[in-house]
Amino acid sequence: MITLPFDTVVESEIETEKVARSFAENLSGGDLILLTGNLGSGKTFFVKCVCASFQVNKVTSPSFAIVNEYVGTKTVYHFDFYRIKNISELYDIGIDDYLKNEEAIIFVEWADLWREIIPHHHYEVAINFVDENKREIKISRHE
Amino acid sequence: MNNFLPILGIETSGDLCSVAIMMNEKSFYEINILEKHVHSKKILALIDLLLKEAGLELKKLSHIAVSIGPGSFTGLRIGLTTAKGLGYGANLPIVPVPTFNALALQISDFVPMNNNFVIIKNASVDDLYYASPYYDGKKIGFSHELSIIKKNDIESILKNDELIFSDIDFEFATKKIIGPSALNICRYSYLFGKDLLTFDYDYLEPFYLKQFLVRVKK
């Protein structure tokens, strides 16, 4: 488990994986995690590492499908808002039912694009480029 | 009036999975299951059981009344799809029943006529449905139309001495409600459904208040 707010610079995928696995211990059913960061910063990779803790091993980018669903020791919904052009598209796929689910863990990449739909209670994981091989990872909890 | 009976009612707008057959003003069959995420598995078996218990065939029904929303995205789709499928197969018309009107009718059994009361239901993580209906013996009216409000704003909206019915546990006094039940979907249809009756339900969609508001705003 990690203490929040959390801020670190990682220099390899292995270090990212360590952070993600520790963060996984903070999570339980009904938690919502927003991921922000530029293209290629490693948002999907971070989700993949967190999900490994829940015995989910087939995490892929949901950019195309909008939402992927995984079932391991926990149910995980993995969203990507990158291609959403209008908020009504999110209502049309039943976003409220997903967000209301108290058993599943929900990740949202590019949540910044549609902030108005995001509930108050959530975690935020910001991944920023420092240089080619370094990323700053900031994790915070919002009540 | 008799040609408007019996009615098959379907209610899946929330956690309650409810089906009913209203035979006439005095007799009905109803099954309720309060359990999350079972509606799609249970609903057809429950309808089948009710029909058998009532000694009816589907085609002997007058119509199917289905709760049209607002409510759960998936739940409403399950109910409406079931109604359409059965209706199409047995050549029955459908009455789309406004969910909160049916709930208001259900609650009005316990509230003096013409008295306003308040219904608050969970809409999404941060939002609530809020309405203030009354029943005057002829219709369900609304002194405050069904709307969506933020959970944080609820206490500032409520007035003193209001009779509040909700599916959420608040700090202020409320009466707990579950529903509407499918019988009240039938009752609403029986009383007020004649103008809503349709055979042309190919394009009938669930009513999602939030989506509707988003589109109107656009």
User: Does residue B1 register a pLDDT over 50?
Assistant: no
Asked whether the whole model's pTM tops 0.95, one would answer no
- Any idea what DSSP says for residue B198? B
User: Does residue A81 register a pLDDT over 70?
Assistant: yes
Give the integer Cα–Cα distance in Å for A79 and A107.
6
B89 within 8 A of B59, measured Cβ to Cβ: no
User: Does residue A46 register a pLDDT over 50?
Assistant: yes
Q: Looking at per-residue confidence, does A84 or B211 come out higher?
A: A84
User: Does A1 reside within a domain?
Assistant: no
Helices (H) and strands (E) in chain A, counts: 4, 7
Domain ranges of chain B: 7-100+179-203, 111-176
CATH number of the domain where residue A56 is located: 3.40.50.300
Contact A121 B125 (CB under 8 A): yes
- In chain B, which residue's Cα lies nearest the Cα of A89? B211
User: Does residue A125 register a pLDDT over 70?
Assistant: yes
Range of the domain at A55: 6-142
Question: Is the predicted ipTM greater than 0.90, yes or no?
Answer: no
Mean pLDDT for A19-43 is 96
Give the integer Cα–Cα distance in Å for A45 and A42.
5
Contact A96 B215 (CB under 8 A): no
Alpha helices by DSSP H, listed for chain B, are: 39-54, 73-90, 99-108, 154-157, 182-192, 209-217
Contact B125 A94 (CB under 8 A): no
Task: Please list every residue in chain A whose beta carbon sits closer than 8 Å to the beta carbon of residue B74.
Answer: 94, 97
What is the bridge-based pairing of β-strands A67-71 and B164-166? unpaired
CATH no., domain B7-100+179-203: 3.30.420.40
User: In the Cβ-directed half-sphere of A76, how many Cα atoms lie within 13 Å?
Assistant: 27
Lowest model confidence (mean pLDDT) among A71-85, B105-119, B156-170: B156-170
User: Does residue B2 register a pLDDT over 60?
Assistant: no
Looking at the 3D structure of chain A, how many domains does it have? 1
Output the pLDDT for position B217: 66
User: Does A40 reside within a domain?
Assistant: yes
Question: What is the per-residue pLDDT across B48-75, written as a single tens digit (0 to 9) for each?
Answer: 999 999 999 999 999 999 999 999 999 9
Output the pLDDT for position B96: 98
User: Does A89 reside within a domain?
Assistant: yes
Distance from CA of A86 to the nearest CA of B (A): 10
Tell me which architecture the domain covering B111-176 has in CATH: 2-Layer Sandwich (3.30)
- In chain A, which residue's Cα lies nearest the Cα of B122? A100
What confidence tier does B210 reach under pLDDT thresholds 50, 70, 90?
A: confident
